[in-house]
Amino acid sequence: MTYNTLFLDIDGTILRPDHTVMDSTKDAIEQVKKQGVEVFLSTGRPLHEIYDLAEELTIDSFIGYNGAFATYQNETVVDEPMDTSTIEHFLETVDQHNHEIVVYTSKKNYYSTPNSPATKAFINAFLLKENDQITPDIKNDILSMTLININDDDLALYSIDENLYLSPVNVGGINNCYDVIRKNVNKGEAIKTVLKKLNRKKEDAIAFGDGMNDKEMLETVGEGFAMGNAHPDLFAYAKNRTTTVSDSGIFNGLKQLGLVE
């Protein structure tokens, strides 16, 4: 089998809990790149928060915002802002119930309560830098959003559209946070668009992930790997399983395919 495209989640897949990257992960990425494999960072993060990591790994193609925006070597291939009526409902519900939320544009992360303990913990968990207070003028520019510190009993308040689902954030140090995912705009759908643009088959693509926001991604490619530290429900969507992010998970998965040594 000749593989030509690799999609890598970031948190819990590339980045360890201490926000560092294993040397084995860097080595694996370099080895496959030398074989002509195109590598994408594929993340729920906004792209403005990943460029330092991209530079460290020498990667220049991205899927961000859980599939709402994607670029291939500086060319935009996916750009799907959220519907303003959905955004308005979420913001109103958050306000009515004293909940918390972060919404992401192409430039910043905007919070309903930037100084609350839960929001500060969220910011620290991801080392987010471009932070601000939500303002009315950004509603047309929101690409994705994450609910912060939401109890299970309150999740039904946000189940307003059959095209949406809430995906638990699988990062240590924070609890009860949920990415708002669109069933027609997600990592898997973005990968389909990317592969079509590059004229590549899904069977020749590989992906690694650890969160439930990765399920469509792992199903879309020929070789989907769930990290050893993945959310327990993710394994059902992955063809393969590898070791944890802190135990050379990406390297060991690519070794299974005979791509690294």
pLDDT for position 174:
82
pLDDT of the residue at 229: 96
**pLDDT digit string, tens, across residues 150-159:** 998 999 999 8
Residue ranges matching CATH 3.30.1240.10 in the chain: 84-182
Q: CATH 3.40.50.1000: which residues of the chain? A: 5-79+185-256
Supply the pLDDT for residue 193.
Answer: 97
Check if the beta carbon of residue 105 is closer than 8 Å to that of residue 142.
Answer: yes
Which letter, b or e, does each residue of 95-119 get, where b requires 16 or more Cβ atoms within 10 Å of its Cβ? eeeebbbbbbbbebbbbbbbeeebb
SS3 189: helix
Segment holding 218, helix H or strand E: helix 215-220
Distance CA 191, CA 234 (A): 18
Contact yes or no for 224/218 (Cβ under 8 A): yes
Mean pLDDT of all residues in 95-104: 96
Residue 184 neighbours by CB under 8 Å, 6+ apart:
163
List, for residues 248-260, the tens digit of each pLDDT value: 999 999 999 999 9
Distance CA 159, CA 150 (A): 13
What pLDDT band is residue 160 in, cutting at 50, 70 and 90?
confident
CA distances from 188 to 31, 104, 172, 181, 224 (A): 25, 20, 24, 11, 11
The answer to whether 13 and 249 are in contact (CB under 8 A) is: yes
Encoding tokens for residue 251? 């390297």
The CATH class for the domain spanning 84-182 reads: alpha beta
161 or 195, higher pLDDT:
195
CA quadruple 144, 146, 152, 156: dihedral sign: negative
pLDDT of 168-214, one tens digit each?
Answer: 998 877 889 999 999 999 999 999 999 999 999 999 999 999 999 99
Contact 173, 205 (CB under 8 A): no
Place of tokens 């709402």: 68
5-79+185-256 in CATH: which number? Answer: 3.40.50.1000
Q: What is the mean pLDDT of residues 80-97?
A: 94
Amino acid of residue 167: S
Q: What one-character DSSP code corresponds to residue 133? A: E
Q: What is the pLDDT of residue 171?
A: 84
First to last CA, the chain: 17
Q: Tokens representing 51?
A: 């460029």
Can you give the pLDDT at residue 172?
Answer: 77
